[in-house]
Amino acid sequence: MASCDPYPAEVADTAALLASERTGAITARSSYVTGGILPSQMAPFHDNSATKEGGVMTRVAPGDVRSWRLGARTRKGVLVLHIVSAGAWIGIDVVMAVVVFTALLTDDDGLKALCFRALELFAVWPLFTTGLVCLASGVVLGLGTKWGLIRYWWVAVKLALNIVLTALVLVALRPGVVEAAEQGQRFMAGESVSLAVGDLIFPPIVSPTALLIAFVLAVFKPWGRIRKLQRGRGP
């Protein structure tokens, strides 16, 4: 007698497949619950990346110390300011070197006095201003990009050089420049004074050398990341 089974083999296979898919969905849902995350609690993904127009991007990752980054256009603008201020800084250093070594090598006391008075015009406050602008723009670039301020060795060394050189303008350079300018003024007034260069020979050597090191660090970015101290570890 022929079989009268109302469920053909194709229908049975389809039913088995649906049962398997239902079992897999239940298992996946159980894994979410076991991990403490319900499907209804899963927040949608939002792309908060910076737009092409620039600006500041707000980070939503919890626990991230750096909560913002510069947008593309803003970062380029700050970078241009940083490079221009550094270039102006080294340019002032070069002019100062020309004036100081002219006063050192000449035998004309009148020219020495003129060089000393010229130093007062550009060797202190313009140099200090460019140092501050370079420092401020560098800090903004560090905080607003992936490099940070003390995350990489080359950035930390550049920051230290910038701070030290800017401070030395007021601490070491300014007193010598003021004294030399007073000597030049007294000489032009007819008084008998000693027109010695003295310690003014060091700033035109030290400052450009340190700035050259900073430029090399910015180009080659050596030494990698600064390792964080691991706390709670026994000896």
DSSP string of 151-201, one letter each residue: SBHHHHHHHHHHHHHHHHIIIIIHHHHHHHHHHHHHHHTT-------GGGG
Residue 58 confidence (pLDDT): 44
56: enclosing H helix or E strand: strand 56-58
User: What's the pLDDT score for residue 87?
Assistant: 96
Helix axes 72-105, 109-122, angle to 10 degrees: 160
Query: In a structure prediction context, what are the per-residue pLDDT tens digits for the chain, which is 235 residues long?
Result: 444 455 455 545 555 555 655 655 545 444 444 444 444 444 444 444 444 445 555 443 444 444 578 899 999 999 999 999 999 999 999 999 999 999 999 999 999 999 999 998 999 999 999 999 999 999 999 999 999 999 999 999 999 999 999 999 999 999 999 999 999 999 989 888 888 898 999 999 999 999 999 999 999 999 999 987 444 454 4
- Classify residue 182 as exposed, middle or buried by CB count within 10 Å of its CB (0-12, 13-18, 19+): middle
